[in-house]
Amino acid sequence: MTTPEPLLLALAGEPAPWAAALEAAWGQGRIVALAGPGEQERLAEALRQHGVVAALGRALAAGQPAVLLGSGGSAGERRWCLQPLRHLQASAAASSRWLAALGLDPAACLHLDPLPLHHVSGLLPLLRARHSGALLQWLAPALLRQPAALLAAVPLPPDRPAVLSLVPTQLARLLAEPAGVAWLRRCAVIWVGGAALPVALAEQARAEGLPLAPCYGATETAAMVCALPPQRFLAGEQGCGPPLDDVALRLAVDDGAVELRSARLALGWLEHGGLRPLPLTADGWWRSGDAGRLGAAGLELLGRLDGAISSGGETVFPEQLEARLREQARAQGLPLEAVLLLGVDEALWGQRLVALVRAHSGADAAALIDALQQLVAAWPAAERPRTWWPCPELVPSEAGKWQRGRWREWLGGR
């Protein structure tokens, strides 16, 4: 049986029609590639590579539905990850068992989803609702920026446990307004993932009595692999909790990297016209790009090992963005000599990018920065630098590498 070409969906606007198209394609045994804003051409180019369709066919059983999703990966580059539908369904089943262990009836829940469908964390609420026969309600992300409007527009039913999936940035916006806090109090479970939960935000949520469940997962693991039950969060426990019942966790001896073993790991990533299998040890363990520690409370994340930053729940790779910006500036004939993107801590986003810019000798640095800001205006919000600094002395080391610590010190002196 010949594998049909993947169906590419460039997602924008209301998610419900796209979800219907996705499920219809799955019903036909199709592979569906989900592209978010600004990603369509990159994903289309990856799919056009000679040999890709044949490689996907070799990885999947005939007629086996699957999805291609963007992933940060563990080595600092954007990757397109292949997950069979059955892996997503296994993840949904594990989440349902986790809810049942809390005393909640998964079929009686209302899943609230304000996350984009092209992210695994926004896709899984759909699968969870379908698995258990629960209700699903999409939430426009803009509503979470208007807590008073959210409270009025999305009244939560008293007879159904509401289960909400958020990233820390969204949680912070809601906690900043009394109406947002009032709405969150009506939820039975608030899964918070995509980035580390800031300590101050966790303390504020505890003070308000909110049933947070900090969690951890990745595209490669079909979303959540561990979660801290709300009761334990409210009792003051830290971290992301113990693994779900279909996942094993351990730490690498050399650097503390989080390693996982599960039957729902991805099959691999698109690479150079083929499918690169997920690198596993002989006994099936996958190494993530995160450092952590394991204790009585479960997993506590310590940070990324690959130099990436996490901004508003998005994994951002500064080197990749620097290369893209240099390329676009060159195409526009802009006098950009050097650019360096640094992650700085910010309460709302976790981290945001700051750009240091050196213009060609004699060029107007302010005008260059204005032009660069226009170039990135269409980039995803997490990838756009928050502030820009002219830096005439910006140069790499003699080895051609950026001494990022040095330039962070320079930035700190501004």
Every domain of the chain and the residues it spans: 85-268+278-304, 309-412
In this prediction, residue 76 carries a pLDDT of 42
Query: What is the rounded CA–CA span in Å between residue 292 and residue 284?
Result: 20
In this prediction, residue 363 carries a pLDDT of 94
Of 216, 206, 159, 214, the closest CA to residue 185 belongs to 206
Query: What is the rounded CA–CA span in Å between residue 214 and residue 236?
Result: 12
Element (DSSP H or E) covering residue 318: helix 318-331
In this prediction, residue 206 carries a pLDDT of 97
Chain center to CA of 411:
28
CATH of domain 85-268+278-304: 3.40.50.12780
DSSP state string for 91-146: HHHHHHHHHHHTT--GGG-EEEE-S-TTSHHHHHHHHHHHHHT-EEEE--GGGGG-
Report long-range pairs for 244-248 (Cβ below 8 Å, ≥24 apart). Answer: 244/94, 244/95, 244/97, 244/98, 245/94, 245/97, 245/98, 246/90, 246/93, 246/94, 247/94, 247/221
Copy the structure tokens of residue 348: 């709302």
Element (DSSP H or E) covering residue 355: strand 350-359
In this prediction, residue 118 carries a pLDDT of 92
Helices (H), 11-106: 15-27, 40-48, 52-59, 85-101
Pair 79, 98: CB distance under 8 Å: no
Pair 216, 301: CB distance under 8 Å: yes
Query: What is the rounded CA–CA span in Å between residue 144 and residue 172?
Result: 10
In this prediction, residue 397 carries a pLDDT of 61
Residues of the chain with pLDDT under 70: 1, 72-77, 306-307, 397-401
How far lies 246's CA from each of 243, 250, 358, in Å? 8, 14, 50
In this prediction, residue 306 carries a pLDDT of 67
Cβ neighbours for 126, distance < 8 A, ≥ 6 positions apart:
19, 113, 117, 136
In this prediction, residue 3 carries a pLDDT of 74
Query: What is the rounded CA–CA span in Å between residue 347 and residue 362?
Result: 38
In this prediction, residue 321 carries a pLDDT of 87
- Beta strands (DSSP E) in 237-335 are 247-251, 257-262, 268-271, 274-277, 286-295, 298-304, 309-311, 314-316
In this prediction, residue 45 carries a pLDDT of 92
Tell me the pTM.
Answer: 0.79
Its CATH class, for the domain covering 309-412, is: alpha beta
In this prediction, residue 153 carries a pLDDT of 92
- 31 three-class SS: strand
In this prediction, residue 73 carries a pLDDT of 47
Pair 313, 167: CB distance under 8 Å: yes
